[in-house]
Amino acid sequence: MADLQDRVVLVSGGTQGVGAAAARAAVREGARVVVTGRRVDVGERAARDLGVVFVPCDVADVDQCRAAVAATVERFGRIDGLVDAAATTSRGTLLDTTVEDLDHHYAVNLRAPFVLMQAAVADMVRRGEPGTIVNVITMTSHGGQPYLAAYAATKAGLAGLTRNVAHAHRWDRIRVNGVNIGWTQTEGEDATQRRFHGGGDDWLEKATAAQPMGKLGQPDEIAALVTLLLSDRSGVVTGSVIDWDQNVLGAHD
């Protein structure tokens, strides 16, 4: 498959988890890929393993977000696609979430995609060329658990922003879509279960046994949808926020 042949794609948070899977899939389909991440050692390893260009970037920093897009354009002359996969998801209810934690969620989960899209779309419009953007969101954007108040709020904002930008730039032939991912098996989720939920070495076994499909979502499966939305295979679709989960929103036993 080479449906992204020679396209230039930037993946925020592309050094691990779903972001790394999306980067790997885009490379496999012929794209030239730039990934961002905070940790240089992890990023350099990803660059070697995935065959991508690594740009250090803490997406909570506005200037670093803009610099990541600028570095992509400087390296390859343009940007054709953007995947916003970087996120933070610390725990906290309405009553115990600090303003500082709320601000951090806002900076990473909503402001960073805004700034990255702003810079990427500016390059696409300047060149008068089409482009595609995929925002990795979450089923939690529909409401979520009580202990994910800040996460739910900022990701719900990203879902709304996705539709807004899609509408605003459809005449520029820039398609913008989102993916509301469900419970997914990643390195980060393993750390989260152990840190916040008392998960032991058997947490994954217990979790998968309780799922309808007998497994958690897999990053490579999500990446397949992300690359579909990045490519011409998804046709004219824009402004869609797709629920990617094995539980059906609004349905009850």
pLDDT (tens digit per residue) in 183-220 = 888 777 778 878 878 888 888 888 888 889 999 989 99
Average pLDDT, the chain: 94
Tell me the mean pLDDT in the region 52-79: 98
**Gap between the terminal Cα atoms of the chain:** 41
| 76 is a domain residue | yes
Tell me the mean pLDDT in the region 135-141: 97
Q: Which of 15, 20, 109, 151 is catalytic?
A: 151
Residue 110 belongs to domain spanning: 8-182+217-244
CA-based radius of gyration for the chain: 17
Instruction: Give the whole-number percent of the chain exceeding pLDDT 70.
Output: 99
**What pLDDT was estimated at residue 193?**
75
The whole-angstrom distance between residue 10's C-alpha and the CA centroid of its chain comes to 11
**What pLDDT was estimated at residue 184?**
81
Residue 92: what residue type? G
- Other beta carbons less than 10 A from residue 58's beta carbon: 16
**What pLDDT was estimated at residue 204?**
84
Cα 119 to Cα 74: distance, rounded to the nearest angstrom: 13
Instruction: Give the whole-number percent of the chain exceeding pLDDT 90.
Output: 83
Tell me the mean pLDDT in the region 220-242: 97
Q: Are 231 and 27 in contact (CB under 8 A)?
A: no
198-209 residues labelled b (16+ CB within 10 A) or e (exposed): ebeeeebeebee
The whole-angstrom distance between residue 138's C-alpha and the CA centroid of its chain comes to 9
| 165 is a domain residue | yes
Tell me the mean pLDDT in the region 30-45: 96
pLDDT (tens digit per residue) in 101-136 = 999 999 999 999 999 999 999 999 999 999 999 999
| 204 is a domain residue | no
Tell me the mean pLDDT in the region 5-28: 96
The model carries a pTM of: 0.94
DSSP three-state, residue 19: helix
| 58 is a domain residue | yes
Strand residues in 59-171 grouped as ranges (E): 81-84, 131-136
- Across the beta sheet with 241-244, the strand order is 53-56, 32-37, 8-12, 81-84, 131-136, 174-181, 241-244
Residue 139 clears pLDDT 60, i.e. is over it: yes
| 200 is a domain residue | no
Residue 18 clears pLDDT 60, i.e. is over it: yes
| 111 is a domain residue | yes
Which of 63-77, 183-197, 231-245 shows the lowest mean pLDDT across its residues?
A: 183-197
| 55 is a domain residue | yes
Cα 247 to Cα 182: distance, rounded to the nearest angstrom: 8
Residue-by-residue DSSP string for 152-174: HHHHHHHHHHHHHHHHHTGGGTE
**What pLDDT was estimated at residue 2?**
64
| 145 is a domain residue | yes
Residue 75 clears pLDDT 60, i.e. is over it: yes
Residue 151 known to be catalytic? yes
Residue 114 C-beta-side C-alpha neighbours within 13 Å: 17
Tally of domains in the chain: 1
pLDDT band at 1 (very low <50, low <70, confident <90, very high): low
Q: Are 251 and 215 in contact (CB under 8 A)?
A: no
CATH number at residue 124: 3.40.50.720
Q: For residue 6, what are its two tokens?
A: 């020679």
Q: Are 15 and 39 in contact (CB under 8 A)?
A: yes
Tell me the mean pLDDT in the region 57-78: 98
